[in-house]
Structure 1
């Protein structure tokens, strides 16, 4: 004998728990996203003010600002699409390695195997971008609606995502 009222109550409880869980997860998601964006903006402003205080700006400093720019763009894209753009992570890594390479060469003025290793790492990351772009054009990500209708703009059509 099946108790319909118990099954109905169980289903209602399950829906309530799922809705409450989704609310808490999304709240944490947005709170963390705003915090990361704010910290990135604050770090960029502080780095810029340090450059102004120093009185001159080097290529290292400019590349550091590009790293902050890419991190801010990642936060913005993640906020709009709910997907992490893998390509931007690789751009940040390439910029960081380029900054390291320029800093090492400008301060030490001697060629060694470290320059070759860092250059090889940059080449591997550039090849990774090529693979990610090829894969995303060949095998586009499937958009799933999670209760909200989100449409991809033409700008986002080629954006790689990590689900």
Structure 2
């Protein structure tokens, strides 16, 4: 019974990954079509394409490894903040711009901390009977 539960959860994960993959490809296609219709490519467009690329990479890593590195969403958040700063800076006051720059700095520091922790304390392979790294 427990094995069926694990299989069902894995199947649902793959179904969700497939939905995310299709939606990401559709959104990237819409962004490319919009750039084509406008006849130009802006820095904001390129940053948006990088976000889609990171989402695709994250999806691929999850398909291959069965787990999601915490760094990937952090990278996506950094690029999203950079895109927002690129688009909205003229309309923001100095404190908001400084706060968003500080957010990018904090996210970057989080990547360093996670990366350092991964190097110094690497994951052990998990088996279904040892979820969460607990020892029997």
Q: Name the TM-score, length of structure 1 as normaliser.
A: 0.74
Matched, 1:62 2:15: no
Aligned equivalents of 1:143, 1:97: Cα separation in 2: 33
Question: Runs of 5+ in structure 2 lacking a partner?
Answer: none
Matched, 1:29 2:13: yes
Report deviation, 1:44: 0.7
Q: Name the TM-score, length of structure 2 as normaliser.
A: 0.88
State the structure with bigger RCO (CA 8 A, min sep 6), 1 or 2.
1
Aligned equivalents of 1:87, 1:23: Cα separation in 2: 27
- State the partner residue of 1:39: 23
Listed one character per residue, the Cα deviations across residues 57-84 of structure 1 (whole Å, up to 9, x for unaligned) are: 1101100000000011000001110111
Match of 2:98 among 116, 120, 124: 116
Q: SS of the counterpart of 1:28? A: helix
- State the partner residue of 1:141: 123
Q: Which has the larger radius of gyration?
A: 1
Number of residues paired by the alignment?
131
Report deviation, 1:85: 1.3
Runs of 4+ that moved beyond 3 A: none
More helix by share: 2
Question: Runs of 5+ in structure 1 lacking a partner?
Answer: 1-16, 148-162
Q: SS of the counterpart of 1:84? A: coil
User: CA-atom RMSD, angstroms?
Assistant: 2.0
